[in-house]
Each structure stands twice: as structure tokens, then as C-alpha cells.
Amino acid sequence: MEQLYTGSCHCGAVKFEAKVDLAEAFTCNCSLCSKKNAVIARIPEDSFKLVEGEEHLGLYQWNTKRAKHYFCKNCGIYTFHRPRSAPEKYGINIACLDGVDARSLDVPTLDGAALSLES
């Protein structure tokens, strides 16, 4: 069931709101997601609102440079991204949502490694 959450990076400089259905959460096995070990949920653009801290966001891009991975430049925490395969959506780092323990979720793994081979 979709619910409105508040979220932030570790230091609190980046704050956002997101309507997320935790049942839609997953992990990804691409080289980047494997390293950051994030639990992610994709949501429509209109279900996300950056509340504070745009000036604190850094951007990381790799491979085709179509995906946009955002992180806090102060504390380094990955907060959200715009997926290459669905640029009209946001990928939310579930661990950044207030009151949610991402480690307690039983989530499937997306085969992002196979998608990364495509250009």
C-alpha cells in the first residue's frame, strides 16, 4: 500500500517526501547498486518532492550517463536517483525514509547487471 514518507540523508541537509509502496521495493545487482547495497523503490515523478537541500546534492553518472544518482555532498549518503531504464521515475533509497528499517524487508533482486550491458 502506498504511503507518504519523509526522508533525508544522514546529516539532514537533503530532505524529501515520497509516496512509496514498500511492497514494490527491490535490490539491484548492477555494479553500482551492489557497492551501495541499497534497497530501492521506484515511484512516479509526481510522488516525489525535494523539500530541502538541492544545493547539497551531488550527481554521479556512469556507463551511458543517462541515469542520475544523487547523493548528499556533506555526508555522502545516496538519497535517490533517476533510473536509466525509467527516467520519468525516481528510485528512492528506502533506508533514507523516516521510520522504515530497509533491512527488515524481504525484497527481490532486479538483474540490473544485465541491463548495464545494454547501451
For the stretch 39-73, pLDDT in tens is: 999 999 999 999 999 999 999 998 889 999 999 99
Domain 2-116 classification at class level? mainly beta
End-to-end CA distance of the chain: 34
Query: Rounded to two decimals, what is the model's pTM?
Result: 0.90
10 Å Cβ neighbour count for 106? Answer: 6
DSSP helix/strand/coil, 116? helix
Helix, strand, coil fractions of the chain, as percent rounded to 5:
20, 40, 35
The alpha carbon of 4 is separated from its chain's Cα centroid by a whole number of angstroms, namely 15
Q: Can you name the residues that pair with 84 across neighbouring β-strands?
A: none
- Full pLDDT tens readout for the chain, 119 residues: 999 999 999 999 999 999 999 999 999 888 888 899 999 999 999 999 999 999 999 999 988 899 999 999 999 999 999 999 899 999 999 999 999 999 999 998 877 777 665 54
- Specify burial of residue 111 (Cβ count, 10 A radius: 0-12, 13-18, 19+): exposed
